Amino acid sequence: MNSHKTISRSHFDAIIFDLDGVVTQTAHVHATAWKAMFDDFLQKRAQGSEFQPFGDRDYRDYVDGKLRYEGVKSFLRSRHIELPYGNPNDSLEKETICGHSATAKMRSFRPS
């Protein structure tokens, strides 16, 4: 069975791809999801030291406009936290950028 389909230009005037943040205003939703994930992660790591929450400036400087895993890595480095990269199939229990941080952000962004 051939699963490839052809889109004929004669049937369409335009095609719109990735609208997130372009046509729809999702920056606040994304920033809120990142804050929930990073604050939970940072509070667990603080263990007696002072907790410094993830703020608007952190979002703008380290996360916004970057690929998900690169944003996670960039922010963690700003806090002098090094985690192995891992791979996208890592579970949440793994202390890796892919497994713990990025996956947790996506779970907090999606409604239950």
**Domain range annotation of the chain:** 57-112
| Residue 66 CB neighbours (<10 A) | 13
The total of other beta-carbon atoms located within 10 Å of residue 104's CB is 18
39 flagged as catalytic: no
Confidence (pLDDT) at 74: 96
Q: For the segment 50-100, what is each residue's pLDDT rounded down to a tens digit? A: 899 999 999 999 999 898 889 999 999 999 999 999 988 887 778 898 887
20 is catalytic: yes
Instruction: Measure the CA–CA gap between 29 and 35, rounded to whole angstroms.
Output: 10
From the candidates 20, 40, 56, 61, give the one annotated as an active-site residue.
20
The per-residue pLDDT for range 5-54, each reduced to its tens digit, is 777 888 888 877 766 667 777 778 888 888 988 998 899 888 878 899 99
Q: Residue 27, class by beta-carbon neighbours within 10 Å (0-12 exposed, 13-18 middle, 19+ buried)?
A: middle
| Residue indicated by tokens 């979002």 | 59
- At 106 the pLDDT is 66
pTM of the model: 0.72
Residue tagged active-site, from 13, 18, 58, 64: 18
